[in-house]
Amino acid sequence: MKKVFGLLTLLIILLGLAGGVMACSESSPPPSSTDENSVRAYADPATETTLQGLSESNLAKYIQYGNAEFKAAVTQETFVAMAAQVNSQLGAYESKEFLRTEEQPGYTIVHYTAKFARGEVGVRMVFDKDQLVAGQWFE
C-alpha cells in the first residue's frame, strides 16, 4: 500500500505541473444529463486510451489526448517509472466505470472507477476547455 501512495504522490507532483490542475479542488453542482453526455463523448475515449497506454507502457498512447502542458510534463523517464509502478501494484488495466462530472473554471473533471487485475482505484481525469487531457489523478 505504501508503494501505491508513493505512486500517487509522484503522479500528483508530475501532473500538478500541467497548468491549472490545482483549480480542481473546488466543487460545483453536477451538470445536466445533456452536459454529461456531451462530456462523456470526448472524456470516455480519451480516458480509455490514456489508461490503456499506461497499462501497456506506451507513452505515445498515454499522451495521445493530452494538451501541450500534459505532454510536456510527462517525460519518457517519468512515464516509464510511473507505468512500472502502476503495473506492479495494480496489474493490467481492465475497465472503467463512469461516476460523475464536475466543472471548474476552464476545466471539466470526470471521475471514474478503474478496474485493474489486482483491484480498483478512483481516477480523476481533468480536461481543459479544448477537451484535451490536462491532468490525471489516482485517488
CATH topology for the 2-18+29-138 domain: Nuclear Transport Factor 2; Chain: A, (3.10.450)
pTM over 0.75: yes
Nearest Cα to 127, choosing from 6, 8, 9, 31? Answer: 31
Q: pLDDT band for 22, please (50, 70, 90 cuts).
A: very low
Q: How far apart are CA 119 and CA 125, in angstroms?
A: 19
pLDDT per position as a tens digit, 50-88: 999 999 999 999 999 999 999 999 999 999 999 999 999
Is 32's pLDDT higher than 70?
Answer: no
In the chain, which residue ranges form alpha helices assigned H by DSSP? 2-16, 33-55, 59-62, 68-73, 76-90
Q: pLDDT band for 34, please (50, 70, 90 cuts).
A: low
pLDDT per position as a tens digit, 45-58: 999 999 999 999 99
